[in-house]
Amino acid sequence: MMQLTQFSSAHLQAWADYSGDFNPIHFDTAVATKVTGNDDVVIHGMLAMMGLKQASPLPAGNEHWVQWQAMLRQAMPLQRPYQIVSEKKPGSARTRTRLEDLNGEVYMSALTQPCDVPVWPAEGKRFPLDADIAKQKLNSCQHQFQACSQAWIALDALMFAQYVQEHGNQVFHEDFFQHLGPGCADDLADGKIVVMQTTHSAFFCRALQASVNDMTFHTFEYAVHTTDYMQTGNGMVLTVEVPVWLDGKLCFIQRIGLMLRQL
């Protein structure tokens, strides 16, 4: 299966307004050129992933959970048409999907497959989110981004936004600054540091295959856990995990790979 897709500056602005991700590589051509080598701003990874998720057929069967994982292979220039290609071998429970330009150069690749029910430690801090507010944000996501009609895709977008808006700065101060030193704070404020997403995974229960409109829950809780630190020559990489409990039951885990780079 193949489908064409293209983005505009209006799409970038809409996603930034929803998520809080105003990384300059998406709005400042000079910064984007310095970081990626492209002569154009680049598309948010989470924005580009929406169509990739929607085009990924979910595995049939009785497995209770599904894993969707993607690798962001290179930055995607805005002013370029792309196509989404989905492939599945007969008899396989796995589906491979990729986002490429019209010359076949791959920018993002994804794998969808059934997975075991994950186990999350009972201890650790959880953050409550008012159920009505969560439903409002999920509905807003579905309304603004047509590819987010399935509950797991909208929830994935919501939790990324929740992380960026409520916890991103904490991660910078407690983790990035600890590894890179206090001067990192001034570099971040001056735009001398950029953060780029490298990988993304969503683990979700089968119930989240339903439409956003069919979601019902009375309590909403999540946690934020950072791991897999690795310092590089001019920055560091880490993984952020965000599990979600609806009505006290674990139903979703988001895993985000991030790379911090000093310009």
Residue in this structure with the two tokens 């009609």, named with its chain if needed: 149
The answer to whether the CB of 22 falls within 8 A of the CB of 28 is: no
What pLDDT does 3 receive? 78
What pLDDT does 183 receive? 61
Residue by residue, pLDDT tens for the chain (263 residues) are: 567 788 999 999 999 999 999 989 999 999 899 888 889 999 999 999 999 999 998 887 767 899 999 999 999 999 999 999 998 878 788 899 999 999 999 999 999 999 999 989 888 899 999 999 999 999 999 999 999 999 999 999 999 999 999 987 666 555 566 666 666 555 555 556 778 899 999 999 999 999 999 999 999 999 999 887 776 666 778 899 999 999 999 999 999 998 887 76
What global pTM score does this model have? 0.91
- β pairing state of 193-205 and 65-72: antiparallel
Closest CA to 199 of 170, 175, 228: 228
Adjacent-strand bridge partners of 68: 112, 202
What pLDDT does 168 receive? 78
The answer to whether the CB of 95 falls within 8 A of the CB of 1 is: no
Q: What is the CA radius of gyration of the chain?
A: 18
The answer to whether the CB of 187 falls within 8 A of the CB of 262 is: yes
Sorted by where each begins, the domain ranges of the chain are 2-262
| Separation between Cα atoms, residue 6 and residue 238, nearest integer Å | 30
Distances (CA, A) of 132 to 138, 163, 240: 10, 18, 26
CATH homologous superfamily for the domain 2-262: Hotdog Thioesterase (3.10.129.10)
What pLDDT does 126 receive? 96
SS3 call for 236: strand
Tokens of 77: 């220039």
Q: Which amino acid is at 71?
A: M
